[in-house]
Chain A
Amino acid sequence: MTYPDPDDPAHPARPSVRPFLQSGPQSAGGYRPAPREEVPPATDPTATLRPFVITSGRTDGADPEIGIETQVTVNPAANRVRLSPEMRAIVGLCAEPVSVAEISARLRLHLGVTRILVGDLRAAGQLDVHVLDNDTPDPETIMRVIRGLRAIT
């Protein structure tokens, strides 16, 4: 139930009519407040919920250390704090080491959004983000991948 705003210059309140009497045509003695012109919500079919609403509009500022394959785990020492539903869902997935890309896919969250939220959770001490020491892969690691691939049939 909405009452007309008495301060609205377009629809000034009648001084003699009490607001609760304006609730219906019967109780208000036949008085009907002029219907407000409602602005129809934008119906752009491509724009359901803008994904970056969840990040309060931030599209940038994702931690460059957090790559799409970076492994994330729950920080077991973290204090329980109130988190947004998306953040709670992320923390819930990270009992086992999981990549940022997997979090994004499982929660159907945009990858950019996921990176920002994981960065926030890391800053808040809720998640451990396992950043690699060296950016470029070393020959020993590549050799292990080669041996591992050769072993599969």
Chain B
Amino acid sequence: MDYEQSPNRAYGAAAVGNEGRPKKAPVPVKIIVAGGFGVGKTTTVGAISEISPLTTEAEMTSASVGIDNPGQASLKTTTTIAMDFGVLTIDQTLKLYIFGTPGQSRFAFMWDDLIKGALGALVVVDTNRIDDCYPAVDYFEKAGLPFVVGVNTFNGQMQYSLDEVRWALAVREDVPVLAYDARFKASVRDALLVVLDQALDKAIRQKAT
């Protein structure tokens, strides 16, 4: 490194901060956006992200459920899935990542890496295909991750009322079911704020115990 030899170079100091070290890394937090194929996960991520959504490929381990085969762990399979994500810089020291993950398969996914440390999740629902989001709801319930069901209203139209969606999903009373429009930043922001509200409740409860 030549910064040590020429500490008076102005641009060097400006670029890397004090004593040649890169500036302090921000604390990352994340929210998961899950749902079936084509329900508006990528639209949701893109509406709120400050960068156009990036895509990464990841491995997902799935185990078949619903089939009566006790003791057959070998039925686990690994699939590569594409995951879209976006970033929102809260301030210099805090960055919010929003990961959109598929969950449309009838397999339960075990993606503990992804939800580890996550604040919470938004499960996106299309009222035409409500059952697509069952695996995600099941998974977050089992994992104890705070989540909110967000019905994407597309053109402001909903085939079923929120009460009917709640009934169909059979989620607990304390899980919020709300309607939002994935195309609009303000609408996505409000939906994420409800997720954060749930996350805050859980964090305070955990701290109290």
Is A81 among interface residues, defined by CB-CB distance under 8 A? no
Is B113 among interface residues, defined by CB-CB distance under 8 A? yes
Total interface residues on B, CB under 8 Å, equals 50
Question: How far, in angstroms, from A139 to B55 measured CA to CA in the complex?
Answer: 30
Is B63 among interface residues, defined by CB-CB distance under 8 A? no
Is B110 among interface residues, defined by CB-CB distance under 8 A? no
- Encode A113-124 as 1/0 by CB contact (under 8 A) with B: 010000000000
Is B29 among interface residues, defined by CB-CB distance under 8 A? yes
Is B130 among interface residues, defined by CB-CB distance under 8 A? no
Residues of A within 8 A of B30 (CB): 68-69
Contact of A69 among B97, B196, B203 (CB under 8 A): B97
Contact B94 A71 (CB under 8 A): no
| Pairs A-B, 6 closest by C-beta atoms | A148-B90, A105-B54, A97-B25, A71-B25, A69-B28, A111-B58
- Encode B76-109 as 1/0 by CB contact (under 8 A) with A: 0000100101011011001111010000000000
Is B176 among interface residues, defined by CB-CB distance under 8 A? no
Is A142 among interface residues, defined by CB-CB distance under 8 A? yes
Total interface residues on A, CB under 8 Å, equals 43
Residue ranges of A at the interface with B (Cβ–Cβ < 8 Å): 59, 67-74, 76-77, 95-97, 99, 101-102, 104-106, 110-112, 114, 128, 130, 132, 135-139, 141-146, 148-150, 152-153
**28 interchain pairs, CB-CB under 8 A:** A69-B95, A76-B16, A76-B20, A77-B1, A95-B22, A97-B25, A99-B28, A102-B54, A104-B56, A105-B56, A110-B57, A110-B59, A111-B58, A128-B25, A132-B27, A135-B116, A136-B117, A137-B119, A138-B207, A141-B94, A143-B200, A146-B197, A146-B200, A148-B90, A149-B90, A150-B193, A152-B189, A153-B186
